[in-house]
Structure 1
């Protein structure tokens, strides 16, 4: 059977932040660039994100008064927290590319100027860490400015799961995607094909020369004269691959990544000889179980978490990757179940922060209880029986925590002491929907605002599951994002970025915006190499 064929200079697979920035970079250099996306929306998991990129030394930071010397401090910090000499070249390439990319994007009015926000680095005691952070964000943009293509920008995770109404202004990751889509199409060299899924890579004489795909049930071939960039995200929702590579959690529907991420790029790359790294790793988070039974990312500032033994096991307010890893590590090594984790809080916290309610007078909708999502009891002993943990252990855990409050020091896990924790005291993750959440100021009961006694009945337990915003293992690449074989040789014509490539940050999450920053930076490097820059 004949297969239709079209030819381009570059084929980019996947339309998240990396795919769009890679496609824009290539097309803006005059290369005829095809961007294919398997769904009917562009944006991938980037659309679910805050859109930040961890880019030390970039122009927005310089404008805010953070000097160029910060780049070297950031390098020191990155070396220390990653602690993997084999990834140092990738780190240097990333640090250089981030600042260069922002300079280039800001020259295009479609992108405008990027902003900054004070988000402390996640390992605050390591040399080179900062309180101000190094994360830059795309400016919000009205839907009207994006034009006719705004409708194909993927909605937020809240909308896709729960029908939350979107504003007429794109923010965070959606702003980045909307701007990049508009810029790509305005180059005059870009072609976008939705509902077009990669099936395999085309190899001729050892070189990747294109892709095989399906669109509307038909097989098609797109030739790429200069190169193919894989930006298909991770394999979050592929339970078989997660099991094969011991990638925790095994239940793909526990991930907060976009549901279409099943490892298409990984499978295609491995089939043509690509080496892989970090396949058991992910960007971990904790997720509060919603009324549909699925977890959703949150940041906790009140109550305590206990495992199946009724004991605390981590600083609940620590950076999300760190608490996600604490759940993972405990579940694997202690012989005590950490999945699910039980979030214990009292009525005082419920009235303060809300849980899916619409006001302080109605802080929680009753169906959270009738659905069994939140458990409620008049005493801690009764609550322990409901959630299946030892009553004496739970009451002891709460009593110990309450005992820390007057002195302001969490002697178990040092909650509230780091710059990140102190930032958390002013925010709260939304266990329900943004428009249903409200936040009241924390009233200190001691010198540490994140230590507030759990002593006002009734008592509540919500469920926390291990989750992620993406797997981080993938195809091994060099500093130009070229895909490598196990012997270290380059697979000519093949590039990878984002969660399709093995992360430059190894097993850690250094700071806010590292995942998005990585996919943009290495897509930029790939497109520049393809273009011969």
Structure 2
């Protein structure tokens, strides 16, 4: 860079500040002078938006809760669902590092003890799956404990989108990022630079020795004596890259943080790094919201999803990534449009407050689903009959009426003979949270019969792209020939995932991001 400022010297540079903060903490706590650079004004990335579920087989928190699990059972599950989409060596590294990482974090009072909350695995039909689940969560955290660091933490997603009040108690991703940031800084070896964008990697004699960045608009050279960890998220906010690798999928529907435009991925590719699964994302159905990005939303208890032909095509209660992949598969393989899908429901869904409020994956903001506002914006449709509703959303009236009548029969009998909604542990867990009125024995199946009737579009959203740089079991970035690029590591959505095309359970992205950032730090510290 022309006019670049004098170099600063560190042992380790971490690019990105979500799950990568765990690697930064692990490196700094081992005495390595560690710099975290963050492209935006806030640390936390998409992790700060999340519920901070952490999926890790055999971790201490689930064992304390009495869950019978270990890494051997986790291996059986991952081998069954991932197959050849990702190297077995990556799964093995993840399984080995996960429990060790949690044990280490829990020794620091700033992390306290993680909590197991019983969220089922996403593929109950495969060996090794646990109905109790392996997902753990950070305990809540008082925002005031961050002191002068508090303004650095990315605001909650509903604050950024809709101006929701910031809670003095941090939960979910806010709590995880707040705790990790404070722990990192209290090592005495940590530095954070926000508004600092990676522009390129510095390579000497075939190894990465630092980064060139733009910090507060000023070009800087930042040297890393031991190595650089790329943990900067995916490329979901980059329309050009999405068009290249995921044609037909827009960047306008993603839930990913604003800084996730793929700069770290492109910088590594520019020096010969190999990639894998760039066509993949952590998909999820997104409920369209007026004037905003869609809401990542899984609280359907009543109603059905229908395609442009007015027909159901999936269990509407599938875990979100499975549901998103099914939308995409049907869109690509069928002559009928499935994006958008329409969620068709009746007045009882509107009347059941819990069905729109308070779920972990729905906005923690009362009143967000304002019926009149949605109607005025043309997003929500309302009609006194299903035939009238079908006309409004452009689907065949006969098909929609037949679809709803067939579903209502399933609701009354308690068995969805077409798509088995309400049979899996995940389905039943969500149903218990919204505690709806039903007309039959299955809490996941509510009759659609009380006028007026409603329909709202569901689009293909995502929590971020998941393909990225190919790595070995030490999180070291590889070239196409399999050789290691010295000094360069990757984790999170900058890394091609150890879970391949699969989302194993709630917290898969966060758990994997934390684990491989930790693995990278161990290797940098000579413990790999």
Q: TM-score, normalised by structure 1?
A: 0.94
- CA contact 1:276–1:473 (8 Å) conserved in 2: yes
Task: Give the corresponding residue for 1:401.
Answer: 407
Task: Give the corresponding residue for 1:48.
Answer: 49
Q: Does 1:118 align with 2:118?
A: yes
- CA contact 2:85–2:501 (8 Å) conserved in 1: no
Residue 216 of structure 1: CA displacement? 2.0
- CA contact 1:236–1:242 (8 Å) conserved in 2: yes
> How do residues 400-479 of structure 1 correspond to structure 2 at under 5 angstroms?
400-427=406-433, 439=434, 441-479=435-473
State the alpha-carbon separation in 1 of the partners of residues 238 and 120 from structure 2. Answer: 33
- CA contact 1:247–1:281 (8 Å) conserved in 2: no
Residue 459 of structure 1: CA displacement? 0.6
Residue 332 of structure 1: CA displacement? 0.6
Residue 444 of structure 1: CA displacement? 2.9
Task: Give the corresponding residue for 1:87.
Answer: 87
1:149-208 deviations in whole A, cap 9, x for unaligned?
Answer: 112111221111111112101101110100000011111111111100000000111110
State the alpha-carbon separation in 2 of the partners of residues 151 and 61 from structure 1. Answer: 33
Residue 95 of structure 1: CA displacement? 0.7
Task: Give the corresponding residue for 2:313.
Answer: 313
1:455-474 deviations in whole A, cap 9, x for unaligned?
Answer: 11111011110010011100
Task: Give the corresponding residue for 1:367.
Answer: 373
Q: Does 1:284 align with 2:283?
A: yes
Consecutive unaligned residues in structure 2, runs of 5 or more: 358-362
State the alpha-carbon separation in 1 of the partners of residues 18 and 302 from structure 2. Answer: 34
Residue 294 of structure 1: CA displacement? 2.5
Q: Does 1:483 align with 2:483?
A: no
Residue 365 of structure 1: CA displacement? 4.0
Q: Does 1:70 align with 2:98?
A: no
Closer, same or farther in 2 for the Cα pair 1:463/1:23, shift >3 Å? Answer: same
- CA contact 2:12–2:228 (8 Å) conserved in 1: yes
- CA contact 1:286–1:324 (8 Å) conserved in 2: yes
Residue 71 of structure 1: CA displacement? 2.4
Task: Give the corresponding residue for 1:241.
Answer: 241
Structure 2 residue matching 1:128: 3-state secondary structure: coil
RMSD across aligned C-alpha pairs, in angstroms?
A: 1.8
Of the candidates 385, 388, 393, which is equivalent to residue 379 of structure 1?
385
Task: Give the corresponding residue for 1:325.
Answer: 325
- CA contact 2:229–2:488 (8 Å) conserved in 1: yes
Structure 1 residue matching 2:443: 3-state secondary structure: coil
Task: Give the corresponding residue for 2:303.
Answer: 303
Closer, same or farther in 2 for the Cα pair 1:358/1:236, shift >3 Å? Answer: closer
Task: Give the corresponding residue for 1:430.
Answer: none
Consecutive unaligned residues in structure 1, runs of 5 or more: 428-438
Residue 272 of structure 1: CA displacement? 0.5
Structure 1 residue matching 2:284: 3-state secondary structure: strand
Residue 449 of structure 1: CA displacement? 1.4
Closer, same or farther in 2 for the Cα pair 1:87/1:362, shift >3 Å? Answer: closer
Closer, same or farther in 2 for the Cα pair 1:314/1:220, shift >3 Å? Answer: same
Residue 22 of structure 1: CA displacement? 1.1
Task: Give the corresponding residue for 2:360.
Answer: none
Task: Give the corresponding residue for 1:351.
Answer: 351
Task: Give the corresponding residue for 1:36.
Answer: 37
Residue 359 of structure 1: CA displacement? 12
Task: Give the corresponding residue for 2:260.
Answer: 261
Structure 1 residue matching 2:407: 3-state secondary structure: helix
Task: Give the corresponding residue for 1:435.
Answer: none
State the alpha-carbon separation in 2 of the partners of residues 223 and 363 from structure 1. Answer: 49
Q: Does 1:338 align with 2:334?
A: no
- CA contact 1:247–1:282 (8 Å) conserved in 2: no
Structure 2 residue matching 1:179: 3-state secondary structure: helix
Q: Which moved more, 1:40-49 or 1:125-134?
A: 125-134
Task: Give the corresponding residue for 1:501.
Answer: 495
Residue 2 of structure 1: CA displacement? 3.7
- CA contact 1:247–1:279 (8 Å) conserved in 2: no
Closer, same or farther in 2 for the Cα pair 1:120/1:205, shift >3 Å? Answer: same
Task: Give the corresponding residue for 2:16.
Answer: 14
Task: Give the corresponding residue for 2:517.
Answer: 523
Residue 360 of structure 1: CA displacement? 12
1:414-437 deviations in whole A, cap 9, x for unaligned?
Answer: 10011111111123xxxxxxxxxx
State the alpha-carbon separation in 2 of the partners of residues 355 and 171 from structure 1. Answer: 20
